[in-house]
Each structure stands twice: as C-alpha cells, then as structure tokens.
Amino acid sequence: MTILFLHGWQSVPGGVKPTYLTNQGHQVINPSLPDEDFAAAVRIAQAELDRHQPRVVVGSSRGGAVAMNLNLGDARLVLLCPAWKKWGNARSVRPDTVILHSRADDVVPFAHSEELARTSGATLIDVGTDHRLADPEPLAALNRACEGLLS
C-alpha cells in the first residue's frame, strides 16, 4: 500500500518509522518538509498527496499538523503525537482518524490528542514510552493503523 509519511519538526526523511513501514512492504513517500515555513510544508505535502494518491497519510508531530491541513480526499489519516495546537489552522479530523500518542510524551501533551479525539470522534490509542514512538510496540501499532486494523 502507498503511504505518505510526513516527518516532524527538526526531523528528516528516512527515519525509523518510515523505514519500518517500508520494511513491512509498504511504498512510503517521505518528502523533506521545511522546518521554518509551515505553509510551504503543507504545499509540498499536498503536491505529494495529489501526485501519488496514497491510501494513508501518516503525520508525526509537526507532520501531524501538516497532515491535518491537507485536502486528504479518500486517504485515511494516522497521526503520531500530533502538534496541531502549535502549527496550522485545522482543529478537527475525520472520525476514521487514528491517533497514536504516549502519555509519557514530554514534547506534545497527551491531553492535546485527548481533546482532538473527543471533539472529532477519532480513535486515540495510548502507546509507547516517549514522543518518538520508535519502539517495537508503537511501530507495530503504526503498521496496524495504516492497514486499517485499528479504529
């Protein structure tokens, strides 16, 4: 399956999570998003979404905020510790969105994802031990979310 993976602030393409998804057999589109220009990051992500028409868009931290500001069409949305209160204008997601977040996150408050899930009807799953969600348990949950097995 084709997945558009949007990395976080001060992160780069090719990290642990998109590599994990690739190793699970997915085709992962992982563009470089500029840190200091949110509007440009949204434009780049929208162009990649329009070009590749992925079945799933995954947004990690700031990439989650970018993802929330896209015209997703039919793509499913998976958010990882989304920093939606810090960047962008979107304040809700579709009810079929899955949010993975760790209560132990010291970068983006878990309460932000609780609020987003509550107001949008999205599914929130508490997983992992930190903001990165790069351990085996959250990586497996990410793959299941992308495959539509968590909702």
Query: Does residue 99 lie within any of the structural domains?
Result: yes
- Structure-token match 């989304």, residue found: 82
What is the structure's pLDDT at 151? 63
Domain-embedded: residue 12:
yes
Q: Is residue 31 part of a domain?
A: yes
Number of domains in the chain: 1
The answer to the question of residue 11 being in a domain is yes
Note the pLDDT of residue 97. 98
Question: Does 123 map to a domain?
Answer: yes
Could you list the residue range(s) of the whole structural domain that residue 103 is in? 2-146
Domain contains 14: yes
Q: Give the CA angle between residues 145, 149, 114 to the nearest 5°.
A: 50
Question: How does DSSP assign 50-111, residue by residue?
Answer: HHH--SEEEEETHHHHHHHTS--TT-EEEEES--TTTSSS-----TT-EEEE-TT-SSS-HH
Residue spans of the chain under pLDDT 50:
none
Dist. CA 41–CA 70, nearest whole Å? 10
Chain-centroid distance, C-alpha 4: 9
pTM of the entire predicted model: 0.97
CATH number for the domain that contains residue 39: 3.40.50.1820
Question: Residue 58: what pLDDT?
Answer: 98
What pLDDT score was predicted for residue 92?
97
- Answer whether residue 151 is part of any domain: no
Which one, of 96, 99, 28, lies nearest residue 65 by Cα? 99
